[in-house]
Amino acid sequence: MLFRKFISIDIGSKKTKIVYGGVRKNTLEIIEYAIIDTPRNSIMDGKILDFQVLNEVLKSAFKENNIKGRHLLFIITGTAIITREVQIPDSSDEELAKILQFEAQQYFPVDLDSYIMDYRPLEKSTTPDGVFVKVQLIAVPQRQVDEYVKLADSLKKEITTIDISANCLNRFLYPESFLNDNSSQDQNPAEKSDPGIAVLDIGYETIGVSVFSKGILKFQRNLLNGFEDLANYLKNAGQSKGSSMFNLADYTGPVSTAGEIYQKTEPSSDKDLTGKKLNTQSPEAEKEETESDDSNLFPDYPMSHSEAAATKSTYIKDSENTIEATDIDLENPDMQPILAPAINSILADLQRFFDFYNTRSGGNKISKILLYGGGSKLKGLEKYIEQYYGIETSYLTFKNVNGPFNIVYKGKKTDFKECCPLLINAVGALIR
């Protein structure tokens, strides 16, 4: 079997994660990886602002870490990416493509002429009215994709795929569904006893919320709060007491959205509606429902850069006055009371996502929570969240991969396991 190697790149707001490797039989072999600082003002809300400076730091990272591959896998994020889940009568692949090509616009609040749109069939259901299929639709701004293509060209490398974080997480947890051209979620080999698993990707600016039921990604949303909010809160608390006792540093995690939206080679099962070489590999969003009480929580429009920025607090600019996730100890009796209001506010917002899913899940309520991302490295966070929700909570690691599948690191670095929370999405993208 041919051993295909890829360079997976996940550009976060504060850290960029690079993983070089590929799948051989039932093993993902990671040849090398790197975690580097994302240049300031080079990316915002998943959109590349300065591809030249990114080009320079990526080239340096490739050289310093002996990463010599040619084929790139980019992970793309952002609030401008829109997903919908719709249900239509079951049809052949050709008929399905035609139906969606003519009807897709009604599901999106934007002009699709400036978007790349793709779809993926999820699962079939039989009703008294006949057989229906749920389909995930995804729309991504053409300009956002073009910037990643431009970056790849400047690196003199070839894009194989542009993927979405939630899809990479799906691949990481349930790899056998995405190997050997097995793209059907109905054939997912992991028959899980847990009806609902919520996975929180705790990043610097945002928290991605993905909910899986029986191995299928059912729901995904983003909360525009992250570790940055806790860092600022703690910093301000220290300043109000005239103290500089907290020593901070930056941590970040990626932002989750939907499925794969760019593929250089023609997809084998998913159909492209625009004539572009695209592929969506994973379901991600719960069906949008137009209820007035949900209108503010789940807006039917993408946020602009300015709108997204307006919802966030000011970045911590002083490198000598920044907080590192590992500096925060929620088990510390002095620190926990200071941070509790900020953490509880974020957890209350997350509860709204959980409630939204639970009321529409047909009884498959969330029974487990998994944590990853740089912000998950707060000491005691796992226990704090478990006590807050009364739901079993643990950290997402390579041991959570389902089925007879192994992940092996072949490089020489000694901190690979410690870096796992930041590498999940980049590792998942390699599973193909």
In this predicted structure, what is the pLDDT of residue 193? 54
For residue 1, being part of any structural domain is answered with no
Please name which of 47, 19, 280, 23 lies closest in space to residue 167, comparing C-alpha atoms: 280
For residue 291, being part of any structural domain is answered with yes
> With 50 as the cut, is the pLDDT of residue 240 above it?
no
Q: Which amino acid is at 174?
A: Y
Mention every residue, 6+ apart, whose C-beta is less than 8 A from residue 237.
338
Tally of domains in the chain: 1
For residue 44, being part of any structural domain is answered with yes
Highest averaged pLDDT of the listed ranges 111-120, 155-164, 213-222? 155-164
Largest interatomic CA distance in the chain: 68
Strand partners, 369: 198, 393
Please tell me the distance from the alpha carbon of residue 43 to that of residue 65, in angstroms, as a whole number: 23
> With 90 as the cut, is the pLDDT of residue 423 above it?
yes
Please tell me the distance from the alpha carbon of residue 375 to that of residue 323, in angstroms, as a whole number: 11
- Domain with 221 in it: 6-310+318-429
The proportion of the chain whose per-residue pLDDT surpasses 70, expressed as a percent, equals 76
Average of per-residue pLDDT across 259-287: 40
CA separation (Å) from 422 to 9, 120, 255, 360, 372? 12, 27, 12, 31, 7
In this predicted structure, what is the pLDDT of residue 75? 95
For residue 88, being part of any structural domain is answered with yes
In this predicted structure, what is the pLDDT of residue 221? 86
The DSSP code for 402 is -
Instruction: Evaluate whether 178 touches 432 at the Cβ level (below 8 Å).
Output: yes
Length of the chain measured in residues: 432
Average predicted confidence (pLDDT) for the chain: 78
Please tell me the distance from the alpha carbon of residue 182 to that of residue 185, in angstroms, as a whole number: 8
CATH number (domain holding residue 129):
3.30.420.380
Burial 304-326 (b: 16+ CB within 10 A, else e): eeeebeeebeebbeeeeebbbbe
For residue 89, being part of any structural domain is answered with yes
For residue 25, being part of any structural domain is answered with yes
> With 80 as the cut, is the pLDDT of residue 343 above it?
yes
Average of per-residue pLDDT across 40-53: 92
The torsion angle over the Cα atoms of residues 281, 34, 143 and 217, rounded to 10 degrees, is 30
